[in-house]
Structure 1
Amino acid sequence: MSRKHFRLHLHTPWKKHYQFPLPRNVVTLSDGVQQPSDASIAKLVLESDPLTLYEALSRPTVQWAPELVNKVLKRLWNHGPKALQFFKHLDRHPSYIHSSSSFDHAIDITARMRDYNAAWALVGRMRSLRCGPTPRTFAILAERYAANGKPHRAVRTFLSMHEHGCRQDLNSFNTVLDVLCKSKRVEMAHTLLKTLRSRFKPDCVSYNIIANGYCLIKRTPIALKVLKEMVQRGINPTMVTYNTLLKGYFRSNQIKEAWEFYLEMKKRKCEIDVVTYTTVIHGFGVAGEVKKSRRVFDEMVKEGVAPGVATCNALIQVLCKKDSVENAVVVFEELVRKGLCVPNLVTYNVVIRGLCHVGDMERALGFMVRMGEHGLRASVQTYNVVIRYFCDAGEIEKGLEMFGKMKDESCLPNLDTYNVLISAMFVRKKSEDLVMAGKLLMEMVDRGFLPRKFAFNRVLNGLVITGNQDFAKEILRMQSRCGRVVRRLKL
């Protein structure tokens, strides 16, 4: 049985001369040439043979600009190897030079894949083109090092900025402190602040970052000491300072202390802002005190503080998790009707997830339709939630239908999408389901994802057990090309 036979019907075969499809919302250039959209370019990158991709990208019908390139890179965010392939092809383009923002996207993708040598090679390329690196470039590298468990490399990256033609200042210093704190390395950040205090003169932002770092690891007493030290050094606290500590109390489940601190803020005539109210609403909600959460929201409106969409999202999420999804939907409709909230993608995703959780898939799909009517496109997270719940409910065909729809809507599936669907194919243990699992695995690899060895072996075993040995051989060959250890199977 040939590999071609098993290729997903949603996967466009490689073509020697790919013509960009022209979507309804094409951009018309001044000379009348229609510019392909970022969605169609991303689709081309995913579905084209690497050997012919450069030819397609070099055609004069495409007017490359940093904004378009960045949009394509963002669309290919979950397809790292393909995104970098696209970036490198354009780096060879005869009449286009990448911007510093495009390099930053490529460096972020490369570092996220933990290919630090390639990331630094891109930094060198930026210097050779005299378009960087910028403080943003080093912030990206430091963040990726810290997130991947290499905080010392993050610090060294900051300290080496000047060696790459980029001067360190207080902003870049605060950035590395923030990166360390958000990766739960607050002690290291605090030590760095003390060590370099004479060089960078920490400001309120610096101390707020350290205090927030201690709050993140639920050590509010130390956060309070840091803020007292700040005041002793003649630096006045801001609303960010107070909100940081308030959030820290709630995060540590110190609800009584949080409420007392909030009342003290009001007593001292602090200008309670939307962030303060959102923190209290979310904090009470997480603690299960839904009525208090709603009372604070009503108080906020009464005081004339306009709730932001983040506030509304916090309230709706609280109701979904701690009260009832039905009440959350009622509040959603009420807020929209009164003009208190213009729902964004997060708002809809919270409601859709809640409806899926209680099994009301029909209404969840209805909210997806409403998103489109309000000019919002469902994200990969939206589709993943719906696909997961359909599969969990045993409605695998509907899950696959949503998978097809997301691709029709130019929403690129990510690793989670494929993993959810492949796992679902093993529930019924049907031959056709296991064949579909194999097709999905092949498409994953075609699109630049590298499945775990476990996924390969699971699909291989399923195909062998259901009598699909020929297709299993195709998977084995692909596994070998991907550099995975080939398992010895008698086929």
Structure 2
Amino acid sequence: MNQISFHAIKIFISSPVGLVEMITPMHRFRSSAHKVFVRMLSSSTENLPGLVDPTDKVCEIMASPSSPGLELLLDQSGLRVPPESAETVLKRFENAGMLAYRFFLWAQKQRNFSHSVNTYHTMIGSLAKIRQYRIMWDLVAAMQRGRLLNVETFCIIMRRYARAKKVEETIYTFNIMDKYGVSPNLAAFNGLLGALCKSKNVRKAQQVFDQMSYQFEPDAKSYSILLEGWGRAPDLPKMREVYRGMVNKGCEPDIVTYGIMVDALCKAGRTEEAVDLVQEMSSRGCPPTSFIYSALVYAYGVEKKIENAVSAFLAMERSGIKPDVVVYNALIKAFCLVDKYENAFRVEEDMMEKGISPDSRTYNIILTSMISAGQTKEAYNVFRTMIKRRDCEPDSDTYTMMIKMFFKTDKPEKALKVWKYMKLKQFVPTMHIFAVLINGLCEKGEVDQACMLFEDMIEKGIRPSGSTFGKLRHLLLKEGREDVLKFLVGKINDLVEEPADN
């Protein structure tokens, strides 16, 4: 097989019916004229600063199938990208690590251009997500030369290493801060504890705390991080032990501390104990927040005690606490758990009447419940409602569950329409979205489309999981298409050959 892109043999996927309005001939004419006008302006952006924002045009170029010629396309566009636009572009494409990195390198070659600290941080997080650690450390060295390093830089790296289950590398990052001219302080220490706890390494975090607490005097945040870690474990006796140690050290618990403990007790099914703790808070002059009430509402919902959930919500309002989207989401979840969707939608209406916009999690809660209950048609209608709203865009979880739902209900054409809609919205897919789509296509025997998406995934710098590649490999071998398999293996090797470890 010739070394050509699968984009050249891409199968046409029609625009999603009901998701995108049909474009009229007059609209197409206006769109073409507009594009010509934008090109005319963008070529002289340097002479007319501020007249044209290049962000959307750059994103359009990066989302195009011609990513191998990305740098050439950017050069030919005549665009000059200011640092604030580069920051926005990289934020949008942080799921496409190597593609984002190519833009990062192109942008910094512009005359009189310097990336901001935030841009470096976004790029470091993006590269670490796909385990391109040596390139990540090259950027750290560049930040050092530019005197841009700070504690947050190392906290980002610690979080990424911890999520990848690289515990030793997480601690190593903390220990070498001094070598880069950044002195580790209490914020860095808390960053290390937080990275370990959030990646379910609370025992290691406790060990680090016990060994290093003499260097850094722990504050309420240090203890709260450990409390949250043990609460998620869950290990309530150990959580209570840390709490006692905190009080004995003279470190007064704050509202965050109480919130963590109430949340942990609720999730462990100890709702009554959580209620007692809320009463203790009030007696100590530390009134509960909407987050604490949301934990109670959620707990009662899980227990399917819907009356208690509603009572907790009303008690919060009576106490003068204004509900936020988090507590509303908890109440919606409670109604969904008992299949009372009409009530859930009434809660959503109440939110909007009070000026609180639903977020993607609001809809994801409803979608998850409906899909689990087999109400796929109703779920699709909720999704359609969601995308019509301008203030609530679907997120990666939304797209993942919708694509998965359509494959499970033997409607691959609708899964592909959701994918097409994502592309029209310039939403950069995550590895999980790619995996769900590729796996679904493999199960349907759609090997050409699966290969096309697999290549697209690699070109965006997203490293495929072993299981996803295994399914595609099995299908290709079954069809006797070793040449295609060899082509894709070469693509993977090109990506992996980029230095991946420090």
1:113 aligned onto 2:130: yes
Q: Which residue of 1 aligns with 2:93?
A: 76
Give the alignment of 1:290-305 within 5 angstroms.
Answer: 290-305=306-321
- Structure 1 residues 70-469: aligned runs within 5 Å: 70-130=87-147, 132-337=148-353, 339=354, 341-357=356-372, 358-361=374-377, 364-429=380-445, 433-452=446-465, 455-456=468-469, 458-459=471-472, 461-462=474-475
Q: CA deviation at 1:104?
A: 1.1
Aligned residues of 2:358 and 2:392 also touching (Cα < 8 A): no
The one-letter code sitting in structure 2 at the alignment partner of 1:351 is I
Indicate how the Cα distance of structure 1 residues 120 and 310 shifts in structure 2: closer, same or farther if over 3 A, else same.
same
Q: Which moved more, 1:359-368 or 1:106-115?
A: 359-368
**Residue range with higher mean Cα deviation, 340-349 or 363-372:** 363-372
Q: 1:411 to 1:150 in 2, by over 3 A?
A: closer
Query: Per the alignment, in what secondary structure is the counterpart of residue 493 of structure 2?
Result: coil
Contact 1:104 1:137 in 2 (8 A): yes
8 Å contact from structure 1 (residues 266, 272) kept in 2: yes
Q: Matches of 1:312 and 1:181 in 2, distance apart? A: 27
Distance 1:190 1:452 in 2: 32
CA distance in 1, matches of 2:283, 2:344: 32
**1:429-463 per-position Cα deviation (integer Å, ceiling 9, x unaligned):** 4xxx3333233333333333343455445445545
Letter in 2 for 1:439: M
TM-score scaled by structure 2? 0.82
Displacement of 1:475:
4.1
What percent identity do the matched residue pairs reach?
A: 25
Unaligned runs of 5+ in 2: 15-31, 495-502
CA gap of 1:458–1:219, structure 2 versus 1, over 3 A, is closer
Cα gap change, 1:159/1:457 in structure 2, threshold over 3 Å: closer, same or farther?
closer
Alpha-carbon distance in 2 for matches of 1:233, 1:146: 29
Equivalent residue, structure 2, for 1:6: 9
Which residue identity does 1:35 align to in structure 2? D
Q: Distance in 1 between matches of 2:178 and 2:204?
A: 22
The separation in 1 between residues aligned to 2:36 and 2:339, in whole angstroms, is: 43
Counterpart for residue 480 of structure 1: 490
Shift in Å, 1:58: 4.5
Deviation of the 1:403 alpha carbon? 1.3
Taking a change above 3 Å as real, the CA distance of residues 439 and 363 of structure 1, as seen in their structure-2 partners, is same
CA distance in 2, matches of 1:33, 1:459: 47
Partner of 1:489 in structure 2? none
Q: 1:32 to 1:43 in 2, by over 3 A?
A: closer
Measured after TM superposition, the shift of residue 474 of structure 1 is 3.3
Q: 1:259 to 1:32 in 2, by over 3 A?
A: closer
Could you tell me how far apart the structure 1 residues matched to 2:38 and 2:368 are? 30
- Contact 1:434–1:462, Cα closer than 8 Å, also in 2: yes
Task: Tell which deviates more after alignment, 348-357 or 22-31.
Answer: 22-31
Partner letter of residue 474 of structure 1? V
Would you say the 8 A contact 2:227–2:261 is kept in 1? Answer: yes
| 2:158–2:192 contact (8 Å) kept in structure 1 | yes
Q: How far apart are 1:397 and its partner, in Å?
A: 1.1
1:136 is displaced (CA, Å) by 0.9
Q: Is 1:189–1:210's contact at 8 Å kept on the other side of the alignment?
A: yes
Report what 1:15 is aligned to.
Answer: none
Letter of the structure 1 residue corresponding to residue 140 of structure 2: V
- Go from structure 1 to structure 2 and tell me whether the alpha carbon gap of 1:32 and 1:122 turns closer, same or farther (over 3 Å shift): closer
How far apart are the structure 2 equivalents of 1:364 and 1:64?
39
Counterpart residue identity of residue 260, structure 2: T
Question: How far apart in 1 are the matches of 2:325 and 2:35?
Answer: 35
In structure 2, the CA distance between the partners of 1:335 and 1:234, relative to structure 1 (3 Å rule), is same
User: Which one is further off, 139-148 or 357-366?
Assistant: 357-366
Q: TM-score, normalised by structure 1?
A: 0.84
Distance in 2 between residues matched to 1:202 and 1:465, nearest whole Å: 59
Question: CA distance change for structure 1 residues 457 and 472 in 2, over 3 Å: closer, same or farther?
Answer: farther
In structure 1, distance between residues paired with 2:11 and 2:459: 11
Deviation at 1:125, TM superposition (A): 1.0
The structural deviation recorded for 1:51 is 6.3
Paired amino acid for 1:441? F
Per-residue deviation, residues 28-72 of structure 1 (Å, max 9, x unmatched): 97557533334x423423436566433443468434233322221
Is there any run of 5+ residues in structure 1 with no aligned partner, and where?
12-18, 485-491
Greater relative contact order, per chain length (Cα 8 Å cut-off, separation 6+)? 2
Structure 1 residue 124, shift from structure 2 partner: 0.6
Q: Which secondary structure state, in structure 2, belongs to the residue aligned with residue 34 of structure 1?
A: coil
